[in-house]
Homo-oligomer: A and B are copies of this chain.
């Protein structure tokens, strides 16, 4: 019942718009931010294409400045309207927001710092936050839980694959020579992983009969090996699906959480009936 709270300053209002998506304006802000991030990423992409940059350099430059100014306003607003600004500044998103905003300013001090613009791609992760409503309503959440549950098995598996790759890569380095592209053991290990994962670029490929024989064995092993993560994830999905309808208990995965974020520490994922932040204890 936020609407009944009487004492709302402008900071609180801005906070509600920027950090939350419960109100219509908050939703519009999120949509605008979503579009702005997409545009900013597209700009970086287009600038990297040589002939586009040569032809439309001025246009791209102007658009780049508009995006940067809007990002700057957003960044300052985010800092101003939160109670504990340092929590935001040194959070993962805070750092990415800062690094996405700064490059154009820096380019006047250090030449070539526009390379940092590429960090903006990370802002796309915010899209997941913007679409958070979807996230908590099922699919993505189920995906995440299945991957989380099979994390331990996948780690053990990746570890085994790495050791196998080192052994097989070293073997291939000894069997094949420089001629075929196996110039060093690290390169050989790279080739082994390219083969085991069935990517198979072909930039390096065995040319001796014995090398091709070992490669064949690696591929057939890879056959069995690729089945393992699939098996793990599939079984985990099957369990998630079975577990959900049977046990709609009060564990936090199934409690409905809203998009409101704490005005003190910006933590999200509060229960609908929460009065205090579950993280810092600040009033919501």
Contacts and interface: CB of A to CB of B under 8 A. Distances in A.
Nearest to A124: B163
Contacts of A76: none
Given A154-B224, A170-B44, A219 B233 contact: no
A153 B223 CA distance: 13
Q: Is the interface of A mostly helix, strand, loop or mixed?
A: helix
A228 interface: yes
Contacts of A229: 223-224, 226-227
Interface residues of A, number: 83
Nearest to A228: B233
B215 A190 contact: yes
A265 interface: no
27 contacts: A41-B166, A44-B185, A45-B184, A45-B186, A48-B173, A49-B184, A50-B183, A50-B184, A121-B166, A125-B163, A128-B160, A139-B152, A139-B153, A143-B156, A194-B219, A199-B200, A201-B205, A202-B202, A223-B226, A226-B226, A226-B229, A227-B233, A230-B231, A230-B234, A231-B234, A234-B237, A235-B238
Interface of A: 41, 44-45, 48-50, 115, 118, 121-122, 124-125, 127-128, 134, 138-140, 142-143, 146-147, 152-158, 160-161, 163, 166-167, 169-171, 173-174, 183-187, 189-190, 193-195, 197-203, 205, 207, 209, 212-213, 215-216, 219-220, 222-224, 226-239, 241
